[in-house]
């Protein structure tokens, strides 16, 4: 039985790391199909979500309460998941360089609890090379496992625009990429099954992860030039 079948039969879990504007809607979408652990290091945020209050206002209190996301601030729970999505912030430093500390911190945490046979997918907006040159070594170091052999890595730029009520997670085509054919196929099928299940527009396999970066770069450049940002 492959990982996706195990996820679908609730014999394995998917975890989302970082439950903000991007991570929370994603966790809720996956939770329609899979058992989802929602992990955030911010205990106050987890407490608010656990009380049914969506502080991002992206999915709303009712949808959050019905979502069934297993909310936690305990990183050890990540050891229960075989599909891990990282959606932590990538703020900009004062000198306009990207602050990679949250992505590095999340990689270290995930690495500590990473199980053999897992896939880790980055959804944070990063520049080309961050996933394979910075994050992947941290996952290997923390877990003692080898990428490619013991676990896989994928990249999928999140394209939602928080607050936009017309172009929602379900209607935006997802671009997925992976370190090899196997991870790409798995990543693609996971998104496809969850989006098609919701009647969404599905996902588009972008090939190896440079394709995912390239797509995002083009898109951001276009947004930068477009007067209304769309």
**Residue with the closest Cβ to ligand NAD?**
20
CA 154 to chain centre: 10
CA 45 to chain centre: 18
- The minimum distance between CB 122 and ligand NAD, in angstroms, equals 9
How many CB atoms within 10 Å of residue 202? 14
Closer by beta carbon to ligand NAD, 18 or else 178: 18
- The minimum distance between CB 109 and ligand NAD, in angstroms, equals 6
176 binds ligand NAD (CB under 6 A): no
Q: Which stretch binds ligand NAD (CB under 6 A): 33-41, 62-70, 180-188, 206-214?
A: 33-41
16 vs 123: CA distance, rounded Å: 10
Grouping H, G, I as helix, E, B as strand and the rest as coil, residue 209 is helix
Q: Which stretch binds ligand NAD (CB under 6 A): 7-15, 136-144, 159-167, 193-201?
A: 159-167
Closer by beta carbon to ligand NAD, 6 or else 170: 170
Judging by beta carbons within 10 Å of its beta carbon (0-12, 13-18, 19+), is residue 34 exposed, middle or buried?
A: buried
229 vs 222: CA distance, rounded Å: 8
Binding-site ranges for ligand NAD (CB under 6 A): 17-23, 39-42, 45, 87-90, 102, 105-106, 109, 124-125, 158, 160-162
């Amino acid at each position: 039985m492959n990982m996706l079948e195990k996820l679908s039969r609730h014999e394995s879990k998917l975890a989302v790391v970082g439950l903000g504007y991007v991570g929370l809607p994603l966790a809720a979408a996956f939770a329609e199909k899979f058992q989802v652990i929602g992990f955030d290091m911010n205990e106050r945020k987890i407490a608010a979500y656990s009380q049914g209050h969506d502080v991002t206002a992206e999915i709303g209190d009712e949808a959050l309460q019905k979502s069934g996301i297993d909310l936690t601030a305990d990183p050890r729970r990540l050891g229960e998941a075989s599909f891990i999505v990282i959606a932590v912030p990538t703020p900009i430093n004062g000198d306009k360089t990207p602050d990679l500390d949250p992505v590095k911190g999340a990689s270290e945490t995930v690495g500590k609890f990473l199980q053999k046979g897992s896939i880790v997918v980055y959804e944070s907006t990063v520049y080309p090379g961050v996933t394979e040159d910075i994050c992947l070594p941290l996952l290997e170091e923390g877990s003692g496992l080898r990428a490619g052999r013991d676990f896989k890595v994928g990249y999928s730029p999140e394209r939602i625009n928080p607050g936009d009520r017309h172009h929602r997670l379900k209607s935006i085509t997802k671009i997925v990429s992976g370190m090899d054919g196997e991870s790409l196929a798995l990543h693609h099928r996971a998104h496809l099954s969850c989006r098609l299940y919701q009647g969404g527009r599905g996902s588009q396999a972008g090939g190896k992860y440079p394709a995912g970066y390239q797509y995002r770069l083009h898109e951001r450049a276009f947004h930068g030039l477009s007067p209304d940002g769309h």
